[in-house]
Structure 1
Amino acid sequence: MKKDEPPLEFPDTLEGFEYSFNEKGQLRHAKTGEPFVFNYREDLHRWNQKRYEALGEIITKHVYGLLEKECHLKKVTLPVDATENEPKSFIFMSEDALTNPDKLLVLIHGNGVVRAGQWARRLIINEDLDSGTQIPYIKKAIEEGYGVIVLNPNENYIEVEKTKAQVQLSSDSSDEPAEKRERKDKIQKETKKRCDFYEKYRNPQKEKETMQMYIRDNGSPEEHAIYVWDHFISQSAAENVFFVAHSYGGLAFVELMIQREAEVKNKVTAVALTDSVHNVWHQEAGKTIRE
């Protein structure tokens, strides 16, 4: 029999988790000095996973802070003409990103939970900041005279909690015949009864129902790459633009080439595809792009 699940409520700071990054950029426990432990509560995988995700959100904000404080990048809101109330995203840019006449470096990470400035959250937590973030790339680029733009292709929507009316509407909106719906309702009631019985022993918590509100013109990594190209990269003064595209970022770059072939060929000098998942056949890239 499983233990009762503790509340899914976690600290919102690294200090609250009793962790911090040491001088080597390694995440360590403030009291024991030990690395992060995933199985903090034995036999409670869901709770441990939620704790890990909560820590990951804090680390994302920590990396954003490092991009601004250590790398001296500025946060730029997207869409550029966003109204006060609509969902927004952002990218990071060096002060000279659009004015540097010589060279510009553009970084695109892969898919999943990573956000601007990260290559892999797992590496940040289990190894160190240099392994899991783009910060070494950014610092080296600035040192060598590049302007820098850091994309944020996974920030595609915001989540808002559904109202009671919206939850009720989604459950009542079925077009199924009445007989089939009644049969399904009966099964659901029986299932709920069994769940309620087991809940006395396990007590899993029900999570809030949310809905996704997509960010205009940035609703996917591909859309985001094209949007940043149109509004920033294509307008930069740099004679030479360089990309580092990791994992799904490689697919987003190929899609950018398909959609803006002439512009990209004219402006981009070189691309480093690191463990890229692009496929020029699946993405229907033309002969000139494949070459």
Structure 2
Amino acid sequence: MSVTFITSILLIIWINMAQLQQGGPDEKEKTTALKDFLSRIDLDELMKKDEPPLEFPDTLEEFEYAFNEKGQLRHTKTGEPFVFNYREDLHRWNQKSYEALGEVDATDSEPKSFIFMSEDAMTNPDKLMVLIHGSGVVRAGQWARRLIINDDLDSGTQIPYIKRATEEGYGVIVLNPNENYIEVEKTKVQVQPSSDSSDEPAEKRERKDKIQKETKKRRDFYEKYRNPQKEKETVQLYIRDNGSPEEHAIYVWDHFISQSAAENVFFVAHSYGGLAFVELMIQREAEVKNKVTAVALTDSVHNVWHQEAGKAIREWMRENCCNWVSSSEPLDTSVESMLPDCPRVSAGTERHELTSWQSFASVFKFFGEAVEAKHSSVKPAPTRRSNRLRYEEF
């Protein structure tokens, strides 16, 4: 049943109502009854009647998609990019299909999380790079699912960072801050027979059981008719010590990063990942200052006032952090800020999700200069700071 067909039916009904309202008392009673009928119509439910089952493939191959040699997602038969509106007039189904495509690697298991590490992440004595993505549907190793599906892997994933980091002698740890819980289907409570049922005559018990079975059968049939695409009820089981991006960052710091052998630790944190880093620093200030050499933020949404970062933290961030923000200005041009923390410079793009990719080369240059500056009195200068603000403490 298409939207147009449903609309036509309702239009006819409303025309009939208009005609009835012009009549006498009998017609008005019919109008009232018709209004009552219309009030019970759930358009969303009607539209689900002919909606295809919400059952989708588990792999890219089954979706008939693959990444080509340029890292672009393309249909294996047509060679075309991903199409969101695969079925017209079925936005809900299209959205579910899109979400399923983005979750092809997801698994339902016991409540636990994971991170990715290079083989030398814990043993590299020199450099360690830590990557943190933003909030939302992205998972470990991704910057933006939209870019992965519509553009390519280079801009949408952390793969270029990982490759270059390993080439330049960094160990790498990829955080997974959005994997905070798993969803499991709610188990139905089994209805136990009443304690006094055994005292009832056998004939009465059989009749009652028969009535209950028939009632359940009718209810199940009605429920299937009313909402054939009803999604299963689920409950969220949060992962211990990883119930939020902030908790995840602290957990990985305590159990991995702080235990690593690297003399110089570097963070690249995008969007909400920047907020998670600031929270980590607030909770582990002395440790972070002692081990972290430089931090590259990309369009970070942190706020030192709301997060109540102290003066010492803000001063450290001014000297050791740089935030590449979405801006129409050329790459690395200084951008003014009202917050007294790390300098803000242009990422060379106005698209939030592209800031990590567009600032890629600048970030590595910033880290390289930070290592050199650590052994001298010269601080790294990765940006054009002729317009850099002078922050004052209040």
CA, structure 1 residues 85+116, in 2 after alignment: closer, same or farther (shift >3 Å)?
A: closer
Q: CA deviation at 1:173?
A: 26
Unaligned runs of 5+ in 1: 58-79
| Contact map agreement 1:28 1:34 (CA 8 A) in 2 | yes
Give the whole-Å Cα distance in 1 for the aligned partners of 2:194 and 2:263: 52
Q: CA deviation at 1:176?
A: 35
Q: Secondary structure at the residue paired with 1:90? A: coil
Q: CA deviation at 1:282?
A: 0.4
Q: CA deviation at 1:8?
A: 0.2
| Match status 1:98 vs 2:144 | no
Unaligned runs of 5+ in 2: 1-46, 312-394
Give the whole-Å Cα distance in 1 for the aligned partners of 2:309 and 2:200: 42
Q: 2:208 aligns with which of 184, 191, 201?
A: 184
CA, structure 1 residues 82+38, in 2 after alignment: closer, same or farther (shift >3 Å)?
A: closer
CA, structure 1 residues 200+227, in 2 after alignment: closer, same or farther (shift >3 Å)?
A: closer
Q: CA deviation at 1:170?
A: 21
Q: CA deviation at 1:193?
A: 17
| Contact map agreement 2:48 2:227 (CA 8 A) in 1 | no
| Contact map agreement 2:49 2:228 (CA 8 A) in 1 | no
Q: 1:220 aligns with which of 235, 238, 244?
A: 244
Q: Which moved more, 1:80-89 or 1:9-18?
A: 80-89
| Contact map agreement 2:108 2:182 (CA 8 A) in 1 | no
Counterparts of residues 116-155 of structure 1 (less than 5 Å)? 116-155=140-179
CA, structure 1 residues 188+47, in 2 after alignment: closer, same or farther (shift >3 Å)?
A: farther
Query: Cα deviations across residues 244-267 of structure 1 (Å, max 9, x unaligned)?
Result: 000000000000000000100111
Q: Secondary structure at the residue paired with 2:193? A: helix
Q: CA deviation at 1:277?
A: 0.4
Give the whole-Å Cα distance in 2 for the aligned partners of 1:48 and 1:243: 36
Q: CA deviation at 1:17?
A: 1.1
Q: TM-score with structure 2 length normalisation?
A: 0.57
Aligned twin of 2:97 = 51
Q: Which moved more, 1:136-145 or 1:83-92?
A: 83-92
Query: Cα deviations across residues 196-238 of structure 1 (Å, max 9, x unaligned)?
Result: 9999999661100000111111110000000000011111111
Q: CA deviation at 1:161?
A: 0.3
CA, structure 1 residues 167+213, in 2 after alignment: closer, same or farther (shift >3 Å)?
A: farther
Larger radius of gyration: 2
Q: Which moved more, 1:237-246 or 1:161-170?
A: 161-170
CA, structure 1 residues 166+102, in 2 after alignment: closer, same or farther (shift >3 Å)?
A: farther
CA, structure 1 residues 20+282, in 2 after alignment: closer, same or farther (shift >3 Å)?
A: same
Q: Secondary structure at the residue paired with 2:166? A: helix
Query: Cα deviations across residues 14-62 of structure 1 (Å, max 9, x unaligned)?
Result: 11111111111111111111000000110111100000011001xxxxx
Q: CA deviation at 1:13?
A: 1.3
Counterparts of residues 198-217 of structure 1 (less than 5 Å)? 205-217=229-241
Give the whole-Å Cα distance in 2 for the aligned partners of 1:277 and 1:178: 69
CA, structure 1 residues 29+181, in 2 after alignment: closer, same or farther (shift >3 Å)?
A: farther
CA, structure 1 residues 179+49, in 2 after alignment: closer, same or farther (shift >3 Å)?
A: farther
Query: Cα deviations across residues 164-215 of structure 1 (Å, max 9, x unaligned)?
Result: 1299999999999999999999999999999999999996611000001111
Q: Secondary structure at the residue paired with 2:130? A: strand
Q: TM-score with structure 1 length normalisation?
A: 0.76
CA, structure 1 residues 178+279, in 2 after alignment: closer, same or farther (shift >3 Å)?
A: farther
Give the whole-Å Cα distance in 1 for the aligned partners of 2:195 and 2:246: 33
| Contact map agreement 1:101 1:239 (CA 8 A) in 2 | yes
Number of equivalenced pairs: 265
CA, structure 1 residues 176+4, in 2 after alignment: closer, same or farther (shift >3 Å)?
A: farther
Higher relative contact order structure (alpha carbons within 8 Å, sequence separation ≥ 6): 1
| Contact map agreement 1:89 1:155 (CA 8 A) in 2 | yes
CA, structure 1 residues 43+200, in 2 after alignment: closer, same or farther (shift >3 Å)?
A: farther
| Contact map agreement 2:266 2:294 (CA 8 A) in 1 | yes
| Contact map agreement 1:89 1:215 (CA 8 A) in 2 | yes
| Contact map agreement 1:5 1:203 (CA 8 A) in 2 | no
CA RMSD of aligned residues (A): 7.3
| Match status 1:21 vs 2:67 | yes
Give the whole-Å Cα distance in 2 for the aligned partners of 1:41 and 1:106: 41
